[in-house]
Structure 1
Amino acid sequence: MMKSDLVKVVLILLVFTFTSCKERDDDFVYEPEDSVKNINLKVVTDQARYTPGSEVTFTADNVPQEVTVRYRHLNETLMEEPMTSKTWTWSPPTEDFKGYMVEFFHFVNGEEEVISSVAVDVSSDWTRFPRYGFLSEFGNLSDIEINSTLTNLKDYHINGLQYYDWHNKHHSPLKMNGTSPATTWVDVIGRQISFATVESYISRAQEMNMASMQYNLLYGAWDDYATDGVSEEWMIYSDANHQNVNKHNLPDDWESDILVTNPANQEWQSYIFEKTRLVYDHLEFDGWHLDQLGDRGRVFDYFGNVISLNETYAPFLNNLYADFPDKKMVLNAVNQYGQAEILSTAVDFAYTEVWDPNNTYKALADIILKNNEWSNGKLNTVLAAYMNYDLANSPGSFNTPAVLLADAVIFAFGGAHLELGEHMLAKEYFPNNNLKMRDDLKSALMEYYDFMVAYQNLLRDGGEFIYPELQSGDGKMNIGSWPPQIGHVSVFGKEFANRRVVHLINFNSANSLNWRDNNGTQPFPAEVKNFRVNFISNQTITRVWWASPDVNQGVSHELDFVQNGSQVSLTLPSLTFWDMLVVEY
Structure 2
Amino acid sequence: MFMVMKIHEHGKIAIAILAIILLANCINCYASYASDIHVNRVYTDKARYNPGDTVTISVDLSNTGIGDWSGTLNLLITHLETVVYSSSKTVSINSGQDITTTFSWVTPIIDHQGYLIKVYTNAGDYQTGAVDVSSDWTKYPRYGYIQDFGDITQNTIDTQINTLTQDFYINSFQFYDWMWRHEVPISRSDGINIDASWEDLFGRRIVWNTVQSYISAIHSKNAKAMAYMMSYAAREGYDNYGVSPTWGVFWDTNHASQLNVDFGNGKYLWLFAPTNANWQNYIGNAYVECINAGGFDGIQMDQMGQRDNVYDYFGNRYDLQNSFSSLINAIKTRLVNNNPSRSYVDFNIVDGAVNGWAVNDVSSNANTDFNYSEIWWKANNYNDIRNYIEQVRSKSGKKALVLAAYMNYNENTGDRYEAENAVYYGVDVESNHPGYSGTGFLQNFAHEGDYVQFDINVSESRYYALVFQYGNRSDHATRSIYVDGSKIGVVGFHPQGTWDAFVHDAYINVFLTAGNHTIRVAYDRGDTGAINLDCMTLGEFNEASVRLANAAFAASGATHIELGAGLDDVTMLPHEYYPNTSKVMSESLKTSMKEHYKFITAYENLLFDSNINYSDQGNQYISIANQPISGDGSPGTIWHITRMTVDYDILHLINLKSENDARWRNWTNTPVKQSNLAVKYYMSPEADVTGVYVASPDLDHGITHALNYTTGTDSVGFYVSFTVPSLEYWDMIYIKRTIPVPKDNRYEAEDAIKTNVSTNNNHAGYTGSGFVDGFAEQGDEVTFQVNISTAGNHTLTFRYANDTGYTSTRQIYVDGVHVGTLYMPDLANWDTWSTASVNTYLTPGIHTVCIYYDNTCAHAINLDNLTVY
Whether the TM-score (by the shorter chain) exceeds 0.5 is yes
Give 2:388's aligned residue.
367
Q: Does 1:96 align with 2:111?
A: yes
Q: Does 1:578 align with 2:760?
A: no
Q: Does 1:569 align with 2:702?
A: no
Give 1:196's aligned residue.
209
Query: Deviations for 1:268-304, whole angstroms, at most 9, x for unmatched residues?
Result: 1111112222222211100000000011221111100
User: What is the distance in 2 between the residues matched to 1:567 and 1:311?
Assistant: 46
Q: Amino acid of the residue matched to residue 207 of structure 2?
A: S
Q: Does 1:489 align with 2:638?
A: yes
Query: Deviations for 1:129-183, whole angstroms, at most 9, x for unmatched residues?
Result: 1111111100111101111221121021111111000001111111113322111
The one of 510, 514, 518 equivalent to 2:659 is 510
Q: Does 1:398 align with 2:541?
A: yes
Give 1:408's aligned residue.
551
Contact 2:39 2:125 in 1 (8 A): no
Structure ranking higher on relative contact order (CA contacts 8 Å, 6+ apart): 1
Contact 1:218 1:292 in 2 (8 A): yes
Shift, 1:497, TM fit? 1.7
User: What is the distance in 2 between the residues matched to 1:96 and 1:389?
Assistant: 38
Contact 2:390 2:557 in 1 (8 A): no
Q: For residue 179 of structure 1, give the secondary structure of its aligned residue in structure 2.
A: coil
Give 2:677's aligned residue.
531
Give 2:229's aligned residue.
216
Q: For residue 584 of structure 1, give the secondary structure of its aligned residue in structure 2.
A: strand
Query: Deviations for 1:225-284, whole angstroms, at most 9, x for unmatched residues?
Result: 1111111111111110011111111112x5x21111111111111111122222222111
Q: Which moved more, 1:63-72 or 1:569-578?
A: 63-72
Are the structure 2 counterparts of residues 35 and 320 from structure 1 closer, same or farther at C-alpha, using a change threshold of 3 Å? farther
Q: Which moved more, 1:448-457 or 1:331-340?
A: 331-340
Give 2:6's aligned residue.
none
Give me the CA root mean square deviation: 1.8
Q: For residue 364 of structure 1, give the secondary structure of its aligned residue in structure 2.
A: helix
Give 2:57's aligned residue.
58
Whose Rg is larger? Answer: 2
User: What is the distance in 1 between the residues matched to 2:246 and 2:721?
Assistant: 69
Give 1:376's aligned residue.
397
The one of 291, 308, 312 equivalent to 2:319 is 308
The one of 178, 183, 190 equivalent to 1:166 is 178
Contact 1:103 1:114 in 2 (8 A): no
User: What is the distance in 2 between the residues matched to 1:257 and 1:84?
Assistant: 63
The one of 186, 191, 195 equivalent to 1:178 is 191
Q: Amino acid of the residue matched to residue 178 of structure 2?
A: W
User: What is the distance in 1 between the residues matched to 2:172 and 2:212?
Assistant: 16
User: What is the distance in 2 between the residues matched to 1:169 and 1:47?
Assistant: 33
Contact 2:691 2:706 in 1 (8 A): yes
1:108-187 matches, cutoff 5 A: 115-155=126-166, 156-176=168-188, 177-187=190-200
Contact 1:114 1:553 in 2 (8 A): no
Are the structure 2 counterparts of residues 84 and 236 from structure 1 closer, same or farther at C-alpha, using a change threshold of 3 Å? farther
Q: Does 1:358 align with 2:358?
A: no
Q: Does 1:347 align with 2:368?
A: yes
User: What is the distance in 2 between the residues matched to 1:36 and 1:347?
Assistant: 50
Q: Amino acid of the residue matched to residue 134 of structure 2?
A: S
Q: Which moved more, 1:209-218 or 1:527-536?
A: 527-536
Shift, 1:536, TM fit? 2.5
Q: Does 1:206 align with 2:219?
A: yes
Shift, 1:514, TM fit? 0.8
Contact 1:36 1:115 in 2 (8 A): no
Query: Deviations for 1:386-437, whole angstroms, at most 9, x for unmatched residues?
Result: 0011236455111111100000000111110010002100100000001111
Q: Which moved more, 1:46-55 or 1:160-169?
A: 46-55
Are the structure 2 counterparts of residues 381 and 36 from structure 1 closer, same or farther at C-alpha, using a change threshold of 3 Å? farther
User: What is the distance in 1 between the residues matched to 2:584 and 2:709?
Assistant: 43
Any gaps of 5 or more consecutive residues in structure 2? 1-29, 64-70, 92-100, 413-504, 508-537, 566-570, 738-869
Shift, 1:367, TM fit? 1.5
Contact 2:39 2:62 in 1 (8 A): no
Give 2:859's aligned residue.
none
Q: For residue 134 of structure 1, give the secondary structure of its aligned residue in structure 2.
A: strand
User: What is the distance in 2 between the residues matched to 1:450 and 1:470?
Assistant: 28
User: What is the distance in 2 between the residues matched to 1:199 and 1:516?
Assistant: 34
Are the structure 2 counterparts of residues 529 and 40 from structure 1 closer, same or farther at C-alpha, using a change threshold of 3 Å? farther
Q: TM-score, normalised by structure 2?
A: 0.60
User: What is the distance in 1 between the residues matched to 2:648 and 2:246?
Assistant: 57
Report how many residues are paired.
539
Shift, 1:35, TM fit? 10
Give the number of the structure whose residues are more often helix, by fraction. 1
User: What is the distance in 2 between the residues matched to 1:160 and 1:150?
Assistant: 11
Q: For residue 305 of structure 2, give the secondary structure of its aligned residue in structure 1.
A: coil
User: What is the distance in 2 between the residues matched to 1:435 and 1:125?
Assistant: 33
Contact 2:325 2:367 in 1 (8 A): no
1:250-329 matches, cutoff 5 A: 250-252=263-265, 256-325=267-336, 326=340, 327-329=343-345
Shift, 1:324, TM fit? 0.9
The one of 252, 256, 276 equivalent to 1:239 is 252
Q: Does 1:76 align with 2:87?
A: no
User: What is the distance in 1 between the residues matched to 2:145 and 2:151?
Assistant: 18
Q: For residue 502 of structure 1, give the secondary structure of its aligned residue in structure 2.
A: strand
The one of 376, 386, 390 equivalent to 2:406 is 386
Shift, 1:540, TM fit? 2.8
Contact 1:246 1:259 in 2 (8 A): yes
User: What is the distance in 1 between the residues matched to 2:656 and 2:132?
Assistant: 30
Q: For residue 435 of structure 1, give the secondary structure of its aligned residue in structure 2.
A: coil
Q: Amino acid of the residue matched to residue 545 of structure 2?
A: A
User: What is the distance in 1 between the residues matched to 2:226 and 2:726?
Assistant: 40
The one of 478, 484, 492 equivalent to 2:628 is 478
Q: For residue 263 of structure 1, give the secondary structure of its aligned residue in structure 2.
A: coil
The one of 582, 585, 596 equivalent to 1:434 is 582
Report the identity percentage: 32
Q: Which moved more, 1:570-579 or 1:525-534?
A: 525-534
Q: For residue 180 of structure 1, give the secondary structure of its aligned residue in structure 2.
A: coil
User: What is the distance in 2 between the residues matched to 1:172 and 1:306?
Assistant: 29
Shift, 1:478, TM fit? 2.1
Give 2:601's aligned residue.
453
Q: TM-score, normalised by structure 1?
A: 0.89
Query: Deviations for 1:175-214, whole angstroms, at most 9, x for unmatched residues?
Result: 1133221111111001010111111111110001110000
Contact 1:469 1:491 in 2 (8 A): no
Contact 2:42 2:119 in 1 (8 A): no
User: What is the distance in 2 between the residues matched to 1:151 and 1:550?
Assistant: 24
Q: For residue 259 of structure 1, give the secondary structure of its aligned residue in structure 2.
A: strand
Q: Amino acid of the residue matched to residue 381 of structure 1?
A: L
Shift, 1:40, TM fit? 4.8
Contact 1:35 1:552 in 2 (8 A): no
Are the structure 2 counterparts of residues 301 and 114 from structure 1 closer, same or farther at C-alpha, using a change threshold of 3 Å? farther
Give the number of the structure whose residues are more often strand, by fraction. 2
